[in-house]
Amino acid sequence: MELKEKLVSSFLAFEEEYTGANDDLHKIRNQAIKDFETMGFPSRKEEDYKYTSLKSILKEDYSLFPKKENAIEYKDIKKYLIHEIDTYDLVFIDGIYSSHLSSTTHDKIDVCLMSSALNKDLYKPVIDNYFNKLAPKNGLNSLNTAFTKEGAFIHINKNTLADKPIQIINFSTGNESSLLVQPRNLIVVDENSHCQIIERHQSLTDQPVLTNSVTEIFADKRAIIDYYKIQNDKLSASLIDNTYIEQKSESFCSVHTFSLGGKLTRNNLNFYQRGERIDSTMKGITIIEGKQHVDHNTLVHHIEPNCESHQDYKGIFDERSVGVFNGKVVVEKEAQKTNAYQSNNNVLLNDKATINSKPQLEIFADDVKCSHGCTIGQLNEEALFYLQSRGIPRKEASGLLMYAFANNVLESVKIPEIKKRINKLIAHKLGVELGFNL
């Protein structure tokens, strides 16, 4: 049985298990499974998936409903957490919430479970206003919505500064021979509030796992959100990450994506600016090798005037790896005085490595400053020769040049412990000792 047929036929059993869910959610789920049945999984016939085929990851006979939470201790996962600082933690094991590994709060900051928010009257106003209101209708989003059960629910109340960062960590244990997990996250940051969020998907074994994640983020007036995605999974793990962000006037939202591992990674990241004096920042570093595949598909939709957006994605590709950058900036007629910048720079370390880059601008306003650019090249031989002439071996010289190439993306990271962690991961990926304290 193909995966699509298996999912559709399993939906009834899923719905029967969650009969306690509210009627509105039942309607949303039932419509979503109908939409998925109609649209299915995206194929390379679609322009947005022209360079990314999902066929290889859809062949597995995935388990859809994990039997139980596997016994995982803190020592098993500590190295994957940003444990050097105090954080709120939402930890999920094979898609199931782990209470003994998590730390939540319910004061002015609500850090809790999507399953609770969907089924408790206390959270109904937020769910009614925000859940499933931003993710566009397509096959993958509809599939996630149909099977929405668990994930992170974060609500930062008005005039509140989150006292510590929030980590959302999804682990897969290999308890199933292969597993499909579909986390659903909803993050609402009210007016004049600020939070920092760290997200990671991590396999603990080499069993195949496919994650289809959907995250909806709402930033109200003058809200500030710093979001960090660490993607450094095993070669048996694939991730389709769908993140959609709506911003109101004078809000600031930044997303940093570090794609360093995994078999296939597809990042769909959309910003919608609904107000004036909004700032949206999207930055990313990709370093892959072998037959790894990373695809960044971004959209910034400038709807109203006097806003800015900044995109800066760097990629380093070795062996037979494949990278894709498909970035679109849309400036509506009303969005005068827009400043939009987009940059995608790539280094190919091997003749068999591939990068497909397609920066796009669609501008309907006449008083704007917009730019986009793409570069694809190899390491500068003159710079390599210079470093070697100073006694630095070629391997270390290459590593230093690649580190310098990617490092400016890290300058805007606001949590020092994350910057230190990513520095170490980059050094490890480059296979060199950079020669200074990270």
Quote the Cα angle for 69-65-32, to 5°: 130
Is the pLDDT score of 122 beyond 70? Answer: yes
Is the pLDDT score of 20 beyond 60? Answer: no
Strand ranges across the sheet with 252-259: 96-97, 88-93, 166-172, 194-203, 224-231, 252-259, 279-288, 308-317, 339-348, 369-377
The residue extents of the domains of the chain are 3-430
Per-residue pLDDT at 406:
84
Per-residue pLDDT at 193:
98
Contact 204, 173 (CB under 8 A): yes
Quote the Cα angle for 293-294-295, to 5°: 125
Contact 340, 308 (CB under 8 A): yes
Q: Return the percent helix, strand and coil in the chain, to nearest 5.
A: 25, 40, 35
Q: Calculate the CA dihedral of residues 131, 133, 137, 141 and round it to 10 degrees.
A: -30
> pLDDT digits over 261-308, tens only?
999 999 999 999 999 999 999 999 999 999 999 999 999 999 999 999
Continuous segment of H or E residues that includes residue 400: helix 394-407
Burial (0-12, 13-18, 19+ Cβ within 10 Å), 377? exposed
Phi, then psi, of 130 in degrees rounded to 5 = -125, -30
Pair of tokens at residue 385: 């020769």
- The maximal CA–CA distance of the chain, rounded, in angstroms, is 71
Contact 170, 231 (CB under 8 A): no
Which pTM does this prediction carry?
Answer: 0.94
Give me the count of residues in the chain.
Answer: 438
Question: First and final CA of the chain: distance in angstroms?
Answer: 49
Q: Round to whole Å and give the CA distance between 404 and 430.
A: 12
Per-residue pLDDT at 436:
46
Per-residue pLDDT at 236:
95
Per-residue pLDDT at 18:
67
Q: Which residues contact 437 (CB under 8 A, 6 or more apart)?
A: none
Q: Round to whole Å and give the CA distance between 358 and 328.
A: 8
Instruction: Count Cβ atoms below 10 Å from residue 8 Cβ, excluding itself.
Output: 17
Q: What mean pLDDT is predicted for residues 118-132?
A: 92
Per-residue pLDDT at 437:
44
Per-residue pLDDT at 19:
53
Per-residue pLDDT at 369:
95
Is the pLDDT score of 392 beyond 50? Answer: yes
> pLDDT digits over 361-385, tens only?
999 999 999 999 999 998 888 888 8
pLDDT band of residue 426 (cuts 50, 70, 90) is: confident
| pLDDT over 70 percentage in the chain | 97
Q: Which residues contact 28 (CB under 8 A, 6 or more apart)?
A: 131, 132, 145
